[in-house]
Amino acid sequence: MSSIDITKESSHTEHRFILQVVQPGLAGLMDGSVSTLAPIFATAFATHDSFTTFIVGFASAVGAGISMAFSEGLSDDGALTGRGHPFLRSIVTGGMTLIGGIGHTLPFLIPNMSVALMISYIVVGVELITIALIRNRYFKTPHFKSIIQVVFGGALVFIAGILIGKMR
């Protein structure tokens, strides 16, 4: 096998990995990290109760994970798009959605709401920066552009959650 063949095979393997693992994983991480913000922070600001906020966040993360797993698994069989086996994609997407939603939910196991909120804010920031870095690494999105896009989307959902939570 020549070095050109090895390079082509390596490039094809990386492309397949990005298409079949990174992209569905990133979609799940983004969905879990962002879609759960509104219910979690609405609950936090409406109830001022950490454990209730944890329960809502946990339910949101689990529900979003299941929903995204089915959505990804049923979206296509991978034959036409080359996106791989739907079962693998659904596991990756659903699992990453759960991880994205559970990260900023876990701090609400801390009984002190102020401390829980502060830690959760930090976790959300780390999640959003991680998403931006993955987009930069695998999809060549410029750092600044990626951070602005991801933080903007997250901020919209976060603000919606706070405003809805303060309606009470």
Flag whether pLDDT at 5 surpasses 70: no
Domain ranges of the chain: 3-161
Residues 140-160 have a mean pLDDT of 89
**What pLDDT, on a 0 to 100 scale, did the predictor assign at position 151?**
87
Work out the mean pLDDT of the chain and round it to a whole number.
90
52-72 pLDDT tens trace: 999 999 999 999 999 999 998
pTM of the model: 0.87
Render the burial of 138-167: b for 16+ CB within 10 Å, e for the rest. beebeeeebbeebbebbeebbeebbebbee
pLDDT in tens, 9-50: 678 788 889 988 999 999 999 999 999 999 999 999 999 999
Q: Is 42 exposed, middle or buried (0-12, 13-18, 19+ CB in 10 A)?
A: buried
**Residue-wise burial string across 72-90, b where 16 or more C-beta atoms lie within 10 A, e elsewhere:** bbeeeebeeeebbebebbb
